[in-house]
Amino acid sequence: MATIIKHYRSWGRFPKSTPKQVIPVQWRSELPDFNAIEGTVLPFGYGRTYGDVCLNNGGTLLDTTFLNRMLAFDEENGIVCVEAGVSLEDIVSFIVPRGWFLPVTPGTKYVSVAGAIANDVHGKNHHSAGTFGCFVTRFELVRSSGERLICSPDENTELFKATIGGLGLTGLITWAEFRLKPIPSRLIDVERIRFENLGEFYEIDDESVEDYEYTVSWVDAMATGEHLARGVYMRGRHFDPPLPSNGHLSLPEVRVPFDLPSVLLNKFTLKAMSSGFYGLNFRKESRSIEHINPYFYPLDSIKDWNKGYGTRGFLQYQFCVPDKDRKAVREISKTIANSGEGVFLTVFKRFGDLESPGMLSFPRPGITYALDFPNTPTLENLLSRLDDMVLEAGGRLYPAKDARMSARHFQAFYPNWQEFARYVDPKFSSSFWRRVTGETAC
């Protein structure tokens, strides 16, 4: 377990931000008096958001991580009720031995339940399950007026929808209840299949989405020409013992083969690494049985791997685009590959059409890309071009991974933002929200 904690920075370490004060929220029965606080407030969980969604420069942060108690666990029906700051890690280590798992999980366990709601996070099963918010049955929302509201699909419905994916702006979540899913074992049966280009990706994806709960691909985004968007398709499902017919359980084969902070990155080492990833899976197809932890959270074992992020480090860029005609995906992939910018790790995934209750929720049917770019002086040229291409294709950027999109783009990506704004608590704000709505005061 980590010794050092609490930076009140975001995971991408950009932008730099200094809260005026941080108020720890320790007890649901002892909430801060919002009216006594000058300026705006924003809840802060584990700071696993990359950009400024979790920052409130010059304002107050409410540290919610002490709200980490469980309220109830219905083992029969798989429903947990926990305080807002309980981490998914805490929940996973508690429920997995009891035969349950998170219905949806992001790529790290070190996020709070309220953080998962506020960004309405998605996982490798978006195509089969939707977002985290789809499983939330109710929560308590405290408004700066002091009002405590139980929000659910039937009660305070509008605030329920606004708070899921609501970026912490609608008030303070103090506890939340959500449904789990039963699992037959702690193992995941994973198949990895190499694809040589985008066309092959689609072939495999088409045949996989129906039958595999989890799908995701690593893509060599720097490959061009006939290898455009080549990569490794990974599809998995919960492993139901007994052993496969050959009785052979192979160990996990692919580990994350890098130590980010220490690598001196340039275009060439990146290229080597990107194709290295690809080369790792030298066999066309492989199958392995993996434990839940390394499968879902490969990066969690590397402490502080984000140290390499920041102004001169990396920049995460995630968007989704509809892909009915698949043209946009091809064009965007080409633009990235031909840009000459290095790309470190690219994750590619199909989003399904299960709708989240979240008003401002990010996922839309289509393909999502999550790219890690080393932050070069020329990178912004590419990114602003991508912003436009994404917009034109009817896609959008993910606020949780963003620190730079313009107000104009945000408002076009999320055309219902003004409707959402009606539910924003007058006392709550964030650096992100001020940036994308063009407000200045905090």
Partner 1 sequence: MLKMMIVGATSAIAQETARCFAADGASFFLVARSQEKLETLKNDLIVRGANDVYCFALDLNEFERHRELVDAAIQAMNGLDSVIIAHGTLTDQRRAEEDFEYALQELNTNAISVILLLTIISNHFEEQRKGSIAVISSVAGDRGRGSNYIYGTAKAAVSTYLQGLRNRMAKAGVNVLTVKPGFVDTPMTADVKKNFLFASPEKVGKDIYEAMKNKRDILYTPWFWMGIMMMIRNIPERIFKRLNM
Ligand X SMILES: Cc1cc2nc3c(=O)[nH]c(=O)nc-3n(C[C@H](O)[C@H](O)[C@H](O)COP(=O)(O)OP(=O)(O)OC[C@H]3O[C@@H](n4cnc5c(N)ncnc54)[C@H](O)[C@@H]3O)c2cc1C
CB of 5 to partner 1, least distance (A): 5
> Which residue in 115, 308, 374, 395 binds ligand X (CB under 6 A)?
115
Question: Which H or E run contains 194?
Answer: strand 187-195
- Residue 313 structure tokens: 């480090």
Q: Is 157 helix (H, G, I), strand (E, B) or coil?
A: helix
Residue 223 or 369 with smaller CB distance to ligand X = 369
Verify cis geometry, omega within 30 degrees of 0, for the bond prior to 294: no
Distances (CA, A) of 209 to 231, 234, 238, 351, 353: 17, 11, 15, 10, 12
> Which residue in 41, 86, 92, 173 binds ligand X (CB under 6 A)?
173
Confirm if 74 and 189 have CB atoms less than 8 A apart.
no
- Residue 50 structure tokens: 């990359």
Residue 2 or 251 with smaller CB distance to partner 1 = 2
Residue 197 touching partner 1 (CB under 8 A): no
- Residue 167 structure tokens: 């970026």
* CB atoms inside a 10 Å sphere around CB 42: 27
Residue 320 touching ligand X (CB under 6 A): no
> Which residue in 15, 34, 40, 48 binds ligand X (CB under 6 A)?
48
> Which residue in 29, 245, 246, 262 binds partner 1 (CB under 8 A)?
29
By CB under 8 A, which span of 53-61, 65-73, 246-254, 416-424 interacts with partner 1? 65-73
Residue 76 touching partner 1 (CB under 8 A): no
Residue 351 touching ligand X (CB under 6 A): no
Residue 46 touching partner 1 (CB under 8 A): no
Residue 83 or 205 with smaller CB distance to partner 1 = 83
Residue 136 touching ligand X (CB under 6 A): no
CB of 387 to ligand X, least distance (A): 20
Footprint of partner 1 on residues 269-328 (CB under 8 A)? Answer: none
By CB under 6 A, which span of 119-127, 217-225, 234-242, 265-273 interacts with ligand X? 119-127
CB of 428 to ligand X, least distance (A): 8
Footprint of ligand X on residues 366-385 (CB under 6 A)? Answer: none
The residues, any chain, with a CB within 8 Å of residue 237's CB and separated by 6 or more, are 188, 189, 211, 212, 213, 214
> Which residue in 41, 121, 260, 359 binds ligand X (CB under 6 A)?
121
Footprint of partner 1 on residues 85-144 (CB under 8 A)? Answer: 94
d(CA 137, CA 404): 33
Residue 107 touching ligand X (CB under 6 A): yes
Handedness of CA 28, 30, 35, 39 (dihedral sign): negative
Residue 70 or 354 with smaller CB distance to partner 1 = 70
d(CA 114, CA 118): 6
Which segments within 57-180 are labelled E, that is strand? 60-63, 70-74, 79-83, 100-101, 136-142, 148-151, 172-179
> Which residue in 40, 60, 64, 356 binds ligand X (CB under 6 A)?
64
* CB atoms inside a 10 Å sphere around CB 207: 11
CB of 104 to ligand X, least distance (A): 9
Distances (CA, A) of 14 to 5, 56, 106, 269, 310: 18, 13, 21, 24, 5
> Which residue in 40, 108, 215, 274 binds ligand X (CB under 6 A)?
108
* CB atoms inside a 10 Å sphere around CB 211: 10
Residue 66 or 299 with smaller CB distance to partner 1 = 66
Could you give the angle at which helices 327-338 and 198-208 cross, rounded to 10 degrees?
140
> Which residue in 2, 251, 264, 441 binds partner 1 (CB under 8 A)?
2
Residue 34 or 414 with smaller CB distance to partner 1 = 34
Residue window 321-350: x/- pattern of binding to ligand X, with contact defined by CB under 6 A: ------------------------------
d(CA 231, CA 220): 6
Residue keyed to tokens 């370490």: 13
Binding site for ligand X (CB under 6 A): 11, 42-49, 53-54, 64, 84, 106-108, 111-112, 114-116, 118-119, 121-123, 167-168, 172-173, 299, 400
Where do contacts with partner 1 occur on this chain (CB under 8 A)?
1-6, 22-24, 26-29, 66, 69-73, 94
